[in-house]
Chains A and B, each alone.
Chain A
Amino acid sequence: NAGVMQNPRHLVRRRGQEARLRCSPMKGHSHVYWYRQLPEEGLKFMVYLQKENIIDESGMPKERFSAEFPKEGPSILRIQQVVRGDSAAYFCASSRPRGSKETQYFGPGTRLLVL
């Protein structure tokens, strides 16, 4: 009865490197959301995906950030050419298919530190 899984839990990158964050949704959930939390801030929505489909990426920065949720395997949030301002906690959430309001359940997060 595993919850939302995220790995790695901590990631250190130097400026200019790439960061890949992975998220496996809860069993029975087919919808994935990514959020970013900067220090002393609330969580900010980035992107919403179903399998093989990006549904809403209105919160994603226009450059360097991309997300995917392939037919097999976890969802990936990819940050290219990281900068210090990318240092944050990145949380993934999952939910059941949305007909009415479905609660989003969160993973433990990946803490990215850019040196």
Chain B
Amino acid sequence: DQQVKQNSPSLSVQEGRISILNCDYTNSMFDYFLWYKKYPAEGPTFLISISSIKDKNEDGRFTVFLNKSAKHLSLHIVPSQPGDSAVYFCAASSEGADGLTFGKGTHLIIQP
């Protein structure tokens, strides 16, 4: 029973364009959301987070949007660079829960 869903296993984007990665969740108790980036044979690296009291958070090339009514969040990367090619995981947590709940990841491929 996937509470955090990333429905696109992979996404290919041209260098310099915008990459949009999507994530849906089913648990209305989730109140904090994070995006992690992962290269092969490495651990996930924290990218950006957003609290449920906000609908947007921006950090450099990365922006996360949260639509609570739709239980949907997205990560925008602009402009996309070759080093952005990695697997991106969406994760969520709720008050009282200690572990993060992860999606299965989206493999982003930036084409030259």
Contact = CB atoms under 8 A, between A and B. Distances in A.
Given A4-B43, A42-B104, A101-B51, A106 B36 contact: yes
Interface string B75-88: 00000000000000
Q: Chain B contact residues: over half helix, strand or loop, or mixed?
A: strand
Interface in A39-55: 40-46, 48, 55
B25 interface: no
Contacts, number: 60
Query: For the side of the interface on B, what is the size category?
Result: 20 to 34
Contacts of A6: 43
A110 B51 CA distance: 30
Question: Interface extent on A, as a size class?
Answer: 20 to 34
Contacts of A41: 104
Interface of B: 4, 32, 34, 36, 41-46, 49, 51, 89, 91, 93, 98-105
Interface of A: 4, 6, 33, 35, 40-46, 48, 55-56, 58-59, 91, 98, 101, 103-109, 111
